[in-house]
């Protein structure tokens, strides 16, 4: 079955360490997205990529970095510069770069930094 | 800039009763509107979407939503809730167009609790 796989489901890190969250899709989608979810704040866009080797900052990109070397993969690195990294991170993809085709979401990674 | 407001943070409803979740948006042109549902610890699943045409949109799991341009609203309804409808619901708006890509702006969510 096609879908989006995020791994791991739970991740624990010490403050000051960089950590990379994995997102892989086999839906053949062009566009991929990273959202951060905090209680009561909905989802906020971190980064998005419309094609391979290209990506743009979302609303809260500071302290994060991404790469898009392959169509299937869009890893997110949470750097030590991110002030409040503990959150639930959701990866999504869509079939086209525009026209608002629906987003397909992975099951998320819960990151806890202590 | 576009924005979405979901005024109700929590709603408690009895099983079998009707449910209505409110969503108000702010956007200059015709919006692309979505409702998603999230079970605890999971990703989001699309319930329904509105792009144009009939303002009453049918979705999965017996949900429907009505687009009202004059009120800038896109409220979600279900005539009779089931215990499995307990989840968090998110309204989202998209700008459309190549420059915007598929970026969506989400509301803060409404958590629905279902009483037996």
Q: How far is CA A58 from CA A90, B42, B76, in A?
A: 14, 22, 27
The predicted-structure confidence for B82-112, as pLDDT tens digits, reads as follows: 999 999 999 999 865 555 556 788 999 999 9
pLDDT, residue B31, reads: 83
pLDDT, residue B102, reads: 67
pLDDT (average), residues B74-78: 98
- Which residue's entry shows tokens 């909905």? A42
- Which residue's entry shows tokens 């743009």? A56
> Is B31 part of the contact surface with chain A (CB cutoff 8 Å)?
no
Residues B9/A40, Cβ–Cβ less than 8 Å:
yes
Rounded Cα distance between B6 and B92, Å, is 10
Searching chain B, which residue's CA lies closest to the CA of residue A95? B102
**Best residue of A38, A43, A101 to probe chain B, by most B CBs closer than 10 Å:** A43
Rounded Cα distance between B20 and B79, Å, is 9
Q: Do A31 and B100 touch (CB under 8 A)?
A: no
Task: Give chain B positions within 8 Å (CB) of A110.
Answer: 41
pLDDT, residue A78, reads: 96
3-class SS letters over chain B? CCEEECCCCEEEEECCCCEEECCEEECCCCCEEEEEEECCCCCEEEEEEECCCCCEEECHHHCEEEEEHHHCEEEEEECCCCHHHCEEEEEEEECCCCCCCCCEEECCCEEEEEEC
The predicted-structure confidence for A52-105, as pLDDT tens digits, reads as follows: 999 999 999 999 999 999 999 999 999 998 999 999 999 999 887 556 678 899
Q: Do A4 and B43 touch (CB under 8 A)?
A: yes
By percentage, how much of chain A surpasses pLDDT 70?
96
- Among A108, A71, A67, which residue's Cα sits nearest to residue A89? A108
H or E stretch at A40: none
The predicted-structure confidence for B29-73, as pLDDT tens digits, reads as follows: 778 899 999 998 888 999 999 988 889 999 999 999 999 999 999
Task: Give the closest of B49, B106, B107 to A102, CB-based.
Answer: B49
Residues 6+ apart with CB under 8 A from B10: B110, B111, B112, B113
* Residues present in chain A in total: 114
Rounded Cα distance between A66 and A78, Å, is 9
pLDDT, residue B46, reads: 93
Q: Do A41 and B42 touch (CB under 8 A)?
A: no
Rounded Cα distance between B45 and A64, Å, is 25
């Amino acid at each position: 079955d096609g879908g989006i796989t995020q791994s791991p489901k739970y991740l624990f890190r010490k403050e000051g360490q960089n950590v990379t969250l994995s997102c892989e899709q086999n839906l053949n989608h062009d566009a991929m997205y990273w959202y951060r979810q905090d209680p009561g704040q909905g989802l906020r866009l971190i980064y998005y990529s419309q094609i391979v080797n290209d990506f743009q900052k979302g609303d809260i990109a500071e302290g994060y970095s991404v790469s898009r070397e392959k169509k299937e993969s869009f890893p997110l690195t949470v750097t030590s510069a991110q002030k409040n990294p503990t959150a639930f991170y959701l990866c999504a993809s869509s079939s086209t770069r525009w026209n608002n085709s629906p987003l397909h979401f992975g099951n998320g990674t819960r990151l806890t930094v202590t | 800039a576009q924005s979405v407001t979901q005024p109700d943070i929590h709603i408690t409803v009895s099983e079998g009763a009707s449910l209505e979740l409110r969503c108000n948006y702010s956007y200059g042109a015709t919006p692309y509107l979505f409702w998603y549902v999230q079970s605890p610890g999971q990703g989001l699943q699309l319930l329904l979407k509105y792009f144009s045409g009939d303002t009453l949109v049918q979705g999965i799991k017996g949900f429907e939503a009505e687009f009202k341009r004059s009120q800038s609203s896109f409220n979600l309804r279900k005539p009779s809730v089931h215990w499995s409808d307990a989840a968090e619901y998110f309204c989202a708006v998209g700008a459309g167009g190549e420059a915007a890509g598929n970026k969506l702006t989400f509301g803060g969510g409404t958590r629905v609790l279902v009483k037996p």
